[in-house]
Amino acid sequence: MSININKYNNYEAYAVDTNRPADESCVSMVSNGLVFEGKNTILTEKQLGKKQVCLIVKDLVDNSIKYVPVHSFDPNSFDTARYQLKDWLRYGECMGKQLKVYKKNNGSVTWAAPNRYKLTCDTSASGGFHWAITINGSAKAGDVAWDASSTLDSIVSQINAVVANMASHESGEDFIRITVNSYSNSTLTLTDNTGGTLVDLSLYVKIDGVAQEETHRTFQAQSVATLFPSLGYLAANTAQYGKNGLNMSYYAGGNPSRYKAYYRTLAAANVWVAEASGRMNEATFNQCADGTIGGADGIALYNKYNGSWNAYMEAGMVQIDDTHTGGIEYQSYDNGADQNAKLVSVTTMDFDGSYVPAYTAAAAADAISDADLGGKAHMPTTHEMALMLEEETYAAIRKGQGFLTGVELLSNTGYYWLVAEYSGNTAWFYTGGTGRLKYDYKDNSNSVRPVLA
């Protein structure tokens, strides 16, 4: 084996030599030999571990993509003349795919856009109507009346007196916008109507640009599989399984340290909680030893974990070393890019007659792409997110984001949507404050954490 060592009289000579090996450490020649300057080691994909968190760089000499481990990155010695930092971090491998996460959140958006109606009122003469709708299973109704001197804003006020913020009027528009944050499949109706015209914008839907039949769609109230069965979506699932085989439900932890810290300080004291329903704080768990808390069930629970609160907490967590390992039972939107693309293909009519995404979080992720890295971003699957949430990975991604943005944006208060649905009206997301994978109503605004596979 032969080794070719390039010698340089000074660092400047080294820096301008574009023929040096990409992973060569920076050296300079001094009187007593070679000195390593602490240059970042540039790695190829084959040199990376599956879970290693790296900054991604483009080699401006050969236009190839290479990687710098976050733990060894030194921005003060990074060779910006040769390498260009990309806006992504590589953080693991899921289902045989390399995963990359975008440097920051893409705003705060809803998983699915709320129902929208366009209401036009002829205020050149007296008029009015009775309106009715069901919101979250609760019937709402009201009466609206106007005369020739009334404004659209006065009509808005009458509607909002019954349901706050349901109606709005923007300057320069001759119609009223009605947005219904409804988790039930109920339509807004007008009766005893004189002078009012109501257009249900959810009747006008396109998939891949093809107009669908005019059927009311409450995008937040039904699973995508139910709304569009021909697309082949997986059914919404309340149980997502991880390596420990336990139900990854509302109470399941994704980040161990944050999950424990949340329950250690915030769980109600001296209150029995069945294991399937959540977790108790440490002091309360210890009171289960003699049945003070939980009686016989408390003693059984305490003995099950040999008196270890940590073991009890870890049993409710999901830690996935490699989702491709045999024997792991899981149900997930494993092809996040495909699922995200299908969601983006669904559009509905906007107030101005144009078509806009019905699934806004998916569209926000899809809007981010990088030709060098090979595609568009997508909301992560439960398993892509689980890999990201492992404690060491989580910390390294935070550190890497700090290099890219100056702020460790994977914050304690971050909320990140997943592409998978928990039920017809809810979708999975991660909350940084509690370290848990949870679910929330689709029309609630949470941040998007785009992942590129």
pLDDT tens, the chain, 453 aa long: 344 455 555 556 655 665 655 455 544 445 544 444 555 678 888 778 778 899 999 999 889 999 999 988 888 888 888 899 999 999 988 767 789 999 988 888 999 999 999 999 999 999 999 999 999 889 999 999 999 989 999 999 999 999 999 999 999 999 999 999 888 888 999 999 999 999 999 999 999 999 999 999 999 988 888 888 887 777 777 665 444 443 443 345 567 777 888 888 777 789 999 987 788 999 999 999 999 999 999 999 999 999 999 989 887 765 544 443 343 344 455 678 888 998 999 999 999 999 999 999 999 999 999 999 988 999 988 778 877 877 788 889 889 999 998 876 666 567 889 988 888 899 888 887 777 777 889 999 998 989 998
Tell me the C-alpha distance between 437 and 423, whole Å: 14
| Among 40, 84, 94, CA closest to 373 | 84
AA identity, residue 235: A
- The residues, any chain, with a CB within 8 Å of residue 124's CB and separated by 6 or more, are 148
Can you give the pLDDT at residue 104?
85
Q: Count how many residues are written for the chain.
A: 453
Tokens at 406, concatenated = 């100056």
How does 157-188 read in b/e, with b if 16+ C-beta sit within 10 Å?
Answer: ebbeeebeebbebeeeeebbbbbbbbbebbbb
Task: Determine the longest span between alpha carbons in the chain, in angstroms.
Answer: 97
* SS3 assignment, position 229: helix
| Among 360, 377, 381, CA closest to 318 | 381
Sheet order of strands, 210-211 included: 210-211, 205-207, 346-349, 355-357
What is the DSSP code string of 380-416? PPHHHHHHHHSHHHHHHHHHHHHHHHSS--S-TT-EE
At CB < 8 A and 24+ separation, what contacts does 370-376 make?
370/86, 370/87, 370/88, 370/452, 372/58, 372/65, 372/86, 373/56, 373/65, 373/86, 373/88, 373/100, 373/452, 374/452, 375/337, 375/452, 375/453, 376/337, 376/340, 376/341, 376/452
Evaluate if pTM is beyond 0.85: no
Let me know if 36 is exposed, middle or buried by CB neighbors in 10 A (0-12, 13-18, 19+).
exposed
**How many Cβ atoms are within 10 Å of 15's Cβ, its own excluded?**
16
Torsion 102-107-108-112 (CA) sign: negative
Can you give the pLDDT at residue 246?
39
Q: How many Cα atoms occupy the beta-carbon half-sphere of 279 within 13 Å?
A: 26
Residue pair 245/325 in contact by the 8 Å Cβ criterion: no
Block residue for tokens 């144009």: 354
Residue pair 25/36 in contact by the 8 Å Cβ criterion: yes
What is the DSSP code string of 83-148? EEEEEEEEEEEETTEEEEEESS---EEESSPPEEEEEEE-TTS-EEEEEEEEETTEEEEEEEEE-T
Which neighbouring-strand residues pair with 357?
A: 347
| Among 70, 71, 67, 49, CA closest to 58 | 67
Which neighbouring-strand residues pair with 191?
A: 130
pLDDT digits (tens, 9 = 90+) for 276-312: 778 899 999 999 999 999 999 999 999 999 999 998 9
What is the DSSP code string of 173-194? -SSEEEEE--SS----EEEEEE
Q: Helices 391-405 and 382-389 sit at what angle, rounded to 10 degrees?
A: 90
* SS3 assignment, position 277: helix
Can you give the pLDDT at residue 391?
76
